Structure 1
């Protein structure tokens, strides 16, 4: 996935004008890089972000000649319009491990939930891991169909982790639990 960007002036009141013109202010920082203010097309960013999320590397092309491998680190959104108004890109070194939050996706259906006796409680929606940028999992799929009783639970230690990925959260942290329906 690729995004085109160009440098911009760091200060001033041009952000609103840029947003009206369909541009999105952003900043690039990270491994051996000074913070660089950039601008990119807002619709192009939204299309790429839907596919990449925060866990896939994106090729950020600056001025058409320099390409950087980046992750989306933070997105600021407008409180009423719900669109992005600023993005932080983190440049990575492909040979250096980084810390990243990987989303937890629940799949399957638990018997107590299916019968209407229980509800799913998911206190953890992401798991913090350390790995090389090329090894970042898209998500952790957690099958809850094995949770056949009320009070059944899965913890971080129960999740299968690919090789090369180290979980930084406590193994005892609760990921999902079946609770009595209220």
Structure 2
């Protein structure tokens, strides 16, 4: 992939980052192979566009006021915690004749049959890998198909990645990058057993009512006997 162009300007050490941001620029730093540590600034919108295109795995050609062009990578990008806007960038300058290490994203293509047909859950323990190569051979991303994941616990490893010529993967070939797990079954919660307290109380109430009824009947009988004697 061709380098992504990006214009920049020198900034004075005394320049306040807050003032730069208010004026529509983002404070940046450039350092690395073959260059001194430079303080620069980039216009916010072109910088955002370049980052969306290049990510951290594609070279950017930083053109500083037309006086110096430096091939570099987005090395560290800081964002505003609320708006998400880029607030600061560190660029790492590279020597085009020397190998570099960089993290490259993995793009998973297609849909795993085990998720579509069996309801499994796709798990991707690694969505990036580290590669070593010359800057000119650095891939923007690596792709792998999910179509071979046909059953639970099926796996894809680093060995399944197709790597361009001249690119070496730093992770071992057995490193798992994707797998399909069986969905967890919700445990059925049994209703709590009846304690029998209410039943016992009901029985006691019924017995009490019966006893009261028997006592009332006995009192009525005694009263009738007394009335009969008086007569």
Which digits, 9 at most, give the CA deviation of each residue in 1:132-155, with x for residues without a partner?
111111111110011111100011
Confirm whether residue 152 of structure 1 aligns to residue 154 of structure 2: yes
What is the RMSD computed on CA atoms of the aligned residues?
1.2
TM-score w.r.t. the length of structure 1 is 0.95
**Residue 54 (structure 2) pairs with residue 56 (structure 1):** no
- What is the match of residue 73 of structure 2? 71
Paired residues, number: 181
Q: Bigger radius of gyration, 1 or 2?
A: 2
- Larger strand fraction of residues: 1
TM-score (norm 2): 0.75
Decide which of 117, 126, 129 is 1:127's aligned counterpart.
129
After TM superposition, the runs of 4+ consecutive aligned structure 1 residues lying more than 3 A away are none
Greater fraction helix: 2
Distance in 1 between residues matched to 2:114 and 2:176, nearest whole Å: 19
**What are structure 1's unaligned runs of at least 5 residues?**
none
Please, which runs of 5 or more residues in structure 2 have no aligned partner?
185-231
CA distance in structure 2 between the partners assigned to 1:113 and 1:123 by the alignment: 16
Q: Could you report, residue by residue, the CA deviation over 1:15-66 in whole angstroms, capped at 9, with x for unpaired residues?
A: 1111111100000001022211111101110111111111211111112221
Q: Does 1:2 align with 2:18?
A: no
Contact 1:116 1:181 (8 Å CA) reproduced: no
**Alignment partners' CA distance in 1, 2:22 and 2:183:** 47
Instruction: Pick 1 or 2: higher relative contact order, CA cutoff 8 A, min separation 6.
Output: 1
